[in-house]
Structure 1
Amino acid sequence: MKLLRLLVSLLAFVTLAPASVRAEPVELKFGHVGEPGSLFALSAEEFAKRANAKLADKYKVVVYGSSQLGGDKELLQKLKLGTVDFALPSTVMSSEVDAFGIFEMPYLVKDREHMKRIEKEVVWPKLAPLAEKKGLKIIAVWENGYRHVTNNKRPIQKPEDLQGIKLRVPEGKWRVKMFQAYGANPSPMKFSEVFTALQTGVMDGQENPFAQIYSAKFQEVQKYLSLTGHVYTPAYVTVGLKKWNQLPAEVRKVLEETAKETQAFVYQTAERFDTELLEKLKAAGMQVNTPDKDAFIAASKPVYEEFGKEVAGAKEMIDRAIALGK
């Protein structure tokens, strides 16, 4: 009899308990490699805030930055396995799909308006379907940014100044080929390991946008900042296709629309960082110089030629992207 009364009491509690007690929202994990205050962090947090306001406590986007859920390659693998829901890959996408190496081609993207046109006419019709064949779905295009070289040896004025410099690059083969063409000694490395590598002299330098340089405190362990602007790298809001398709259609719609809407915030923040963070890096004591970009453009021709020959459809994509900048 006592057991029966207990069961009745428990049933009454469950029935009368508020919804928040009965069912916690389903957590959607968003992993990225950016440090607090980076463009990645601010972008992902803005997206989560907007999405969560629309998801009515049934689902909740939770952001894990600073490589907490793994480096770029691990995050892509976890998307496919379904243990992470969103990631924000950039350069690393070219290690999954060679055609994404188009954004490793030096001095291809003139500005963000040009990038918007490339997104519309190259990313969505050409690149996104190739990612889906690998089990990855891009739901929006954000930004990593214009990349610049930092190092502890000397100011980089021309490609030959990179001769022999041990340079950390992201995990994507075309960035390696680019810096080999310039004469550097590039080595792929996880972003989370870069500060220590620079501090200990394992690496002489690295290349990243201002937002990544400043938020990762590379100014504390690097002397020279050369404004090469050699590559503009987009970042892709990416999900694992298998798990994505298991979400209710209305949830997918909210998440996809919100990710695309957030692009305007990303671009505005990135534009502000272009000036603000450069001043902060100068104030931190970095010696800044403006290199001879024409010399870098001339040294980049072999990379374009190799990419055009090696990757199916690459030449047509490059020609289209360049035409969209005219």
Structure 2
Amino acid sequence: MQGTITRRGFAALAGGVAAALPLRHAHAAEFTFKIGTNVPASHPLNVHLSRAAEQVRTETDGRFEFRLFPNNQLGADADMLSQLRSGGLECFLDPGVNVLSTLIPSVSISGVGFAFKDYPSLWSAMDGKLGAQLRGQIGRAGLVVLDRIWDNGFRLITSSVKPVNQPDDLRGTKIRVPVSAMWLSLFRGLGAAPTSLNFAEVYSALQTKVVDGQENPPAIIQAAKLYEVQKYASVTNHMWDGWWFLINRRAWSRVPADLQDTVARIVNTACMAEREDVAQQNIALRTDLSNAGLVFNDVDQGPFRERLTEAGFYREWRSKFGEEAWGLLEEAVGPLA
């Protein structure tokens, strides 16, 4: 499939990306936009952003240039969002559930626990009416957001104690979650003991047994080498999150309309290719992570949804998001409770 990265070619490509950042060229561009991301240069997000940057430079005859700063080089996520809003940073790939939601709470609806059973239901919502409504709210908050949200993959649970097959297996488990009300609410509803930690602290917290487990997509587990300090990986697919491509409105308004159209087209096309690679890579990584020592088990989501319903999780978040947004979510995925 065009745009797909094989595992064999991925490492070589990623190495080239790392060596190429930030991008520099002989002639100064009329418009130079910095992009901040929070994952390593080897992640498909940055691989495809780097490709898009080269294509933008070529198709605009060098008039527009992206400079890519992966792996929180420009600061923590909250810092980059602040820089974006002030104009210190032109572009930020924002994780909506736990970062952008601090400014626009409704965007965290994409992270409702066990809402999406698969990618078709996910993209039906996020490329459809729900995504359009959320982009409208982001725009009203003073930011420019492009049409396609980038994929961070479905999340699974890892543990050093035992596999998670049913909700009772989480009872009392100390699990690290991002600093987010959504994550805390989800795992408390399942009976776990969630602890909010910034990602930079996760490896050491697992290594020293401050927490028993964590949850992330396979690509993050692999990139951060969390398999070194975990034993079990339970494929719960309990939550999805992605990155919104955000742009500072003042900086974007200075770019001529024809260049805006070219840049947006190229970035959105790169996003679609990134989605394909993340989905395929997360499947392939199951084999790689198993070879690294993680023991995988598949999970039936039904009992987890039932436990969350009993705990009032869906009722709580439905009231927070409102009937319109919740209705658009259920239109794509079916009734949640």
TM-score by length of 1: 0.86
Kept after mapping to 2: 8 A contact 1:31/1:64: yes
Structure 1 partner of 2:230:
222
Q: Determine which of 61, 66, 72 is the counterpart of 1:61.
A: 66
1-structure distance, mates of 2:77, 2:185: 20
1-structure distance, mates of 2:54, 2:318: 41
Q: Determine which of 67, 85, 94 is the counterpart of 1:80.
A: 85
Matched, 1:241 2:254: no
Superposed CA deviations along residues 21-69 of structure 1, whole A, max 9, x for unmatched, are 7745643111111123223322322332332322322221111111111
2-structure distance, mates of 1:259, 1:134: 22
Larger-Rg structure: 1
Deviation at 1:207, TM superposition (A): 0.9
- C-alpha change, 1:77 and 1:123, in structure 2 (3 Å) is farther
Matched, 1:117 2:100: no
Kept after mapping to 2: 8 A contact 1:171/1:189: yes
Matched, 1:285 2:293: yes
2-structure distance, mates of 1:137, 1:171: 25
Partner amino acid, structure 1, of 2:265:
E
2-structure distance, mates of 1:251, 1:235: 23
Structure 1 partner of 2:10:
none
Superposed CA deviations along residues 68-94 of structure 1, whole A, max 9, x for unmatched, are 112222221111011112222222233
- C-alpha change, 1:36 and 1:21, in structure 2 (3 Å) is closer
- C-alpha change, 1:133 and 1:256, in structure 2 (3 Å) is same
Structure 2 partner of 1:205:
213
Superposed CA deviations along residues 196-242 of structure 1, whole A, max 9, x for unmatched, are 22223333221111111111111112111111111122321111223
Kept after mapping to 2: 8 A contact 1:169/1:206: yes
Partner amino acid, structure 1, of 2:280:
R
Structure 2 partner of 1:106:
113
Instruction: Output the aligned Cα RMSD.
Output: 2.3
Matched, 1:145 2:150: no
1-structure distance, mates of 2:125, 2:156: 22
Matched, 1:255 2:263: yes
- 72-81 vs 116-125, which moves further: 116-125
- 237-246 vs 139-148, which moves further: 237-246
- C-alpha change, 1:189 and 1:252, in structure 2 (3 Å) is farther
SS at match of 2:94: coil
Matched, 1:303 2:313: yes
- C-alpha change, 1:251 and 1:106, in structure 2 (3 Å) is same
Superposed CA deviations along residues 101-138 of structure 1, whole A, max 9, x for unmatched, are 22121222233333332123334431011112222222
Partner amino acid, structure 1, of 2:202:
V
1-structure distance, mates of 2:108, 2:170: 22
Kept after mapping to 2: 8 A contact 1:99/1:127: yes
- C-alpha change, 1:171 and 1:51, in structure 2 (3 Å) is farther
Q: Unpaired segments of 5 or more residues in structure 1? A: 1-19
Kept after mapping to 1: 8 A contact 2:153/2:279: no
Question: How many percent identity over aligned positions?
Answer: 25
